[in-house]
Chains A and B, each alone.
Chain A
Amino acid sequence: MERSRLIREMEGIVGAEGVVHEHEQLRTYECDGLMNYRVIPNLVVLPETGDHVQKVVKLCYDEGIPFVARGSGTGLSGGALPVESGVLIVLSRMRKILEVDIPNQRIVVEPGVVNIWVSQEVADEGYYYAPDPASQIVSSIGGNLAENSGGVHCLKYGFTTNHVMGAEVVLPDGSVTHIGGGRAPDAPGYDLLGAFVGSEGTLGIATRITLRLCRVPEAVRTLLAGFEDTEGAGGTVSGIIGEGIIPAAIEMMDRLTMEAVEAAVHPGLPDAGAVLVIELDGPEAEVEEQFGRVLEICEENEATEIRVAEDDEERALFWKARKAAFGAMGRIANDYYVQDGVIPRTELPAVLGRISELAGEYGLRVANVFHAGDGNLHPLVLYNNETEGEAERAEKLAGEIVFACLEHGGSLTGEHGIGEDKKKYMPRMFTDDDMNVMQLLRCAFDPHQISNPGKIFPTPRLCGERPGPFHMHPLQKAGIVEQF
């Protein structure tokens, strides 16, 4: 279809103000939170309703046009990177909270609703939404669902996938389906919702999402403890877990990270080699006793300083320090690359040692921030883009770090996703058969591979449909997939 006609047809669906087609405006959407990949989409469409999304996707399907869904664009793996020949469907106008059902502890929202709004909506009722990615003041529920976002509190409360209970989904052929029980448990059939959450926009677009709400805990206690080095901090983490305590959160920052955070938000962090932020929540009596035990464990591991949050304000300050970590890197480096890897918790000392070794080899600084409770590392590789070859070196080092995670039994990503950025690494974690079987799922949902094509898998496969030699698949033409 000619571009001008496509624009007209899209305008017919979402209105003229819902279609972006001027080159300069399109540039706004050329990347998500990962800025080293940029592609200007053919067209951006901003639907306002599920019905709009359905019609837009149907048009794409009928015309064989690939599309990419995007929420707030905060993703860090290039998952919402546009396809040059495709349509970018931006869901940020779909921001309605549709239904609050406190008796069943559910809330139904549109995909563009910002994560933190959910908790704000139900705070007066004593409820909140547990998954809390650091981006939560910006990132959208639809994006969280696509990425299966984590956050600092997922050690105790689980990830997005444990909190999404149902979704209305526009499938890549433009049909609408409802997966997951929503308010009712155990919908019969395959767990399509479980497969859909975390599929990085490759299986369709969620247009109505039912979330589980959690009761605000009776008591919350938070402390910040400084240690000589990461070893003492790591020992504390192991000690706490070993006692059978599941904290709501345990976060670690190393010296370099603290330096940046201090410069950026001045939280008055202790002068230490590593710091832990530990939070316990639950029934009062339980929390009090376990918190006492956590303090002892910190001391046993020779904490140099322990600060207990006296009130909500001080707690907020501790968390502000932690959540500011990524952004704060700008204070100590021109550029930085955020890595996201996972290791078994017990491998922490070995992997930290390896990271420091690698940093030395590459002559670059690496700041470390972890969700220490669940072994999710966020090494931040600092570099200067102005220096010839340094960006490439930084990316290579970040890659080496994630390979070290794999060697120690971990994963390529804990919460940022594979997206565009890490698909080349997938063969290091999965065999061809593993990936081919995963793609069977893709073929069931999206046989023509038009929903966020080219992401996650290094070699997308066509789904048993072999167009004749004179009838090349549009994605082959665009060089996105190859036939095999």
Chain B
Amino acid sequence: MQTEKGLAEDLRRIVGPDNVHEATEEDAVEGVEPDFVVEPGSVQEISDVMKLAASEGLAVAPRGSGTKTHIGDPPRRLDLIVSTARLNEVLEHTPGDQIVRLEAGVKLEDLQEHVSGSDQMLAIDPPESGATIGGIVAANSSGPRRYRYGTIRDLIIGITVVLQDGTVAKAGGKVVKNVAGYDLSKLYTGSLGTLGIIANANFRLHPRPEAARTVAVEVAGPQQAQAAAQAIVHSQIEATAVELHYGEDEKRLKVLLESIPGGIDAKTETAFFLLKQFGEVRTLSDEEADHPGHLTTAEVVLKIGAPPADLAAVLESVFGAAERKGFGHPRITGHAGSGVTLVGFSGESEAGAAGFVEEMREIWVRRGGSVTLQRAPLTLKQRVSTWDNGGDYLGLIRRVKEKFDPRGGMNPGRFLGGN
């Protein structure tokens, strides 16, 4: 292993003198500060950086905009951040084929802007602003629209990755329908940088809906919230999103409807009809409709994945546990049609918060669900892992990690099972 200075020299030789930075506190990942941040300008440069990192035994973390570095356990070690900031080109957009090929550092907002001229969109709406495509794929980030369009795994059609040893490999392609070879695009979705660096990704696009409206019902309690969500889900309305905002002062189920101008009124009418038995129904203003919920400021955000028809039980378990722990009022934003419930709270003791997480895991992992820390202070993560124990597939996860990253240099320690 060479000196830090020598390493900086080598990195500069690969990516150019302006694209290697000494890391600062702001580059720390969950309290672990790297030595350098390097910004390659091409797939080849990523590959060369990775070869160097491998020969020097460096621990590497890929980074897009860094909007989600709070997800995952603290890294066991970290020497080098490989940033995709300079890889921000839209490589191809063919409107007639409804596909796009992107470098990983393209920001979602920029992409949407790029394709909006053709009345198209990438049908993903994660909560973070400024996130890059690579980061969204790596963290499997999703939002309300997942109810209709699925998550990023359902939209990705091809990928180019760089492995820890610099090997460049692609899978899939630029056509929507394709079963040639293994679907590595899906394997890398949600892999949190532990299998290599996502350099490029290709997606299918969707037409941008011409008309949208959000209808909401104010519900009295968990049972009504579930019943209202179920009413929409089992109807033929083809809703785009079914969102729950639930807290002490707000208990609202929002249904996003999208259609053509000639179809939106009928959809709205149907939604009113379906929801009115559960409480007061109204059409929301744009501002209310777009309100993301109240979790952005929460210190701790927990994600519970459970069967959608267990929504009431999820809510009851959350509020029951919070009460027993003497918590204030947790706030909830949920993708109610998809079985995702995000629970946020602030100002609780660490022991209390840890106990809360463990209790949720006790209940929901046993019932086939999952409980993941989306955001938490470092001190809480030292008490409870970001991840629950997963299932009996943990051994397989380990074997995949060992094959793709035999030296354990990619984001070590951040992922499920210490991978």
Say if the beta carbon of B68 comes within 8 Å of chain A: no
B413 interfacial by beta-carbon distance below 8 Å: no
Is B96 within 8 A of A171, CB to CB?
no
Give the residue among B161, B181, B397, B404 with the most A Cβ atoms within 10 A: B181
Kindly identify which residue among A413, A422, A437, A441 contacts B161, using a CB–CB cutoff of 8 Å. Answer: A437
With A184-B369, A415-B179 as given contacts, are A195 and B397 in contact (CB-CB < 8 Å)? no
B325 CB within 8 Å of chain A: no
Q: Is A171 a contact partner of B184 (Cβ separation < 8 A)?
A: no
A371 touches B177 (CB 8 A): yes
CB-CB under 8 A for A414 and B177, given A189-B390, A215-B235, A433-B169: yes
> Which chain B residues numbered 321 to 340 have a C-beta less than 8 Å away from chain A?
335, 338-340
Q: Which of B150, B175, B184, B403 contacts A444 (CB 8 A)?
A: B403
Q: Which of A175-229 contact B (CB under 8 A)?
A: 175-179, 181-192, 194-195, 197-199, 215-218
Q: Give the chain A neighbours of B185 by CB distance below 8 A.
A: 194
Select the residue from A103, A148, A433 with max chain B CB neighbours within 10 A.
Answer: A103
Contact A187 B390 (CB under 8 A): yes
Would you call A162 an interface residue if the criterion is a C-beta within 8 Å of the partner chain's C-beta atoms?
yes
For chain A, residues 340 to 375, give those with C-beta under 8 angstroms from any C-beta of chain B: 342-346, 371, 374-375
Name A375's contact: one of B177, B179, B308 (CB within 8 Å): B177
Interface membership of B21, Cβ < 8 A: no
User: Which residue of chain A has its CB nearest to the CB of B397?
Assistant: A189
Interchain CB contact under 8 A, A375 and B175: yes
Interface stretch of the complex, out of B7-15, B53-61, B206-214 = B206-214
How far does the Cβ of A146 sit from chain B's closest Cβ, in whole Å? Answer: 10
Give chain B interface residues in 158-196, CB to chain A under 8 Å: 161, 163, 167-171, 173-187, 189-191, 195
CA distance A414 to B180 in the complex (A): 7
Partner of B393, one of A103, A179, A184: A179
**B residues within 8 A CB of A158?**
150, 154
| CB-nearest residue of chain B to A282 | B238
Q: CB within 8 A of B339: which of A150, A185, A410?
A: A185
Query: Is A440 close to B, CB under 8 A?
Result: yes
Taking the closest CB of chain B, its distance from the CB of A248, in whole angstroms, is 12
Q: Is the CB–CB distance between A186 and B169 below 8 Å?
A: no
Contact between chains at B396 and A445 (CB < 8 Å) = yes
CB within 8 Å of B: which A412-450 residues: 412-418, 422, 426, 429-431, 433-438, 440-445
Chain A: minimal CB distance from B212 (Å): 13
Docked pose: A441 CA to B372 CA in angstroms: 25
B306 close to A (CB within 8 Å): yes
Q: Which residues of A contact B174 (CB under 8 A)?
A: 344, 409
Residues of A within 8 A of B168 (CB): 433
Q: At the interface, yes or no: B19 with Cβ under 8 Å from chain A?
A: no
A298 to B170, CA, bound (A): 39
Interface contact B183-A197, CB-CB below 8 Å: yes
User: Is A344 in contact with B309, judged by CB distance below 8 angstroms?
Assistant: no
Most buried by B among A162, A194, A435: A194
Contact B307 A104, beta carbon cutoff 8 Å: yes
Given A199-B182, A413-B178; A190-B400 close (CB under 8 Å): yes
Please, which residues of chain A bring their CB within 8 A of the CB of B163?
Answer: 437
Residues of A within 8 A of B236 (CB): 215-218, 283
Which of B154, B260, B388 has the most CB atoms of chain A within a 10 A radius of its CB?
Answer: B260
Complex alpha-carbon distance, A186 and B140, angstroms = 9
Minimal Cβ-Cβ distance residue in A for B154: A162
Closest to A168 in B: B392
Q: Hey, which chain B residues are within 8 Å of A194, CB to CB?
A: 153, 183, 185-187, 189
Q: Are B370 and A438 in contact (CB under 8 A)?
A: no
B120: min CB distance to chain A, Å: 8
**Given A158-B150, A437-B184 in contact, is the A342-B189 Cβ separation under 8 Å?**
no
Near B by CB (< 8 A), chain A positions 434-476 give 434-438, 440-445, 456, 463
Distance to closest chain A CB from B373 (angstroms): 11
Instruction: Please give the distance in Å from B35's CB to the nearest CB on chain A.
Output: 28
Residues of chain B contacted by A410 (CB below 8 angstroms):
173, 175
> Are B403's CB and A441's CB within 8 A?
yes
> Complex Cα distance A342/B303, Å?
39
What's the Cα separation between A104 and B236 when bound, in Å?
15
Q: Does A134 contact B (CB under 8 A)?
A: no
Report Cα–Cα, A175/B96, bound state, in Å.
46
Chain A residues near B169 (CB-CB < 8 A): 431, 433-434, 436-438
**Cβ of B97 and Cβ of A189 under 8 Å apart?**
no
B387 at the interface (CB under 8 A from A): yes
Q: Of A147, A181, A422, A444, which is within 8 A of B370 by CB?
A: A181
Stretch among B74-82, B261-269, B274-282, B289-297 lining the A interface = B261-269
Chain A: minimal CB distance from B389 (Å): 9
B114, CB-defined interface residue at 8 Å = no
Q: What is the bound-complex CA distance between A244 and B263, given in angstroms?
A: 14
Cβ-based interface call for A376 (8 A): yes
In the bound complex, do residue B368 and residue A192 qualify as a contact, i.e. CB atoms below 8 Å apart? no
Q: Which 3 A-B pairs have the closest CB atoms?
A: A194-B186, A244-B207, A103-B309
- Name 15 interchain pairs, CB-CB below 8 A, sorted by A: A158-B154, A184-B368, A191-B190, A199-B183, A246-B206, A283-B263, A285-B265, A342-B178, A409-B173, A411-B173, A429-B180, A431-B169, A434-B171, A441-B400, A456-B182
Which residues of B are in contact with A by a Cβ distance under 8 Å?
94-99, 119, 140, 150-151, 153-154, 161, 163, 167-171, 173-187, 189-191, 195, 206-208, 210, 230, 233-238, 259-260, 262-263, 265-267, 270, 303, 305-309, 335, 338-340, 364, 368-370, 372, 387-388, 390-397, 399-400, 402-404, 415-417
Given contacts A190-B187, A286-B263, A436-B169, 5 further A-B contacts (CB under 8 A): A176-B392, A195-B186, A285-B259, A376-B177, A417-B179
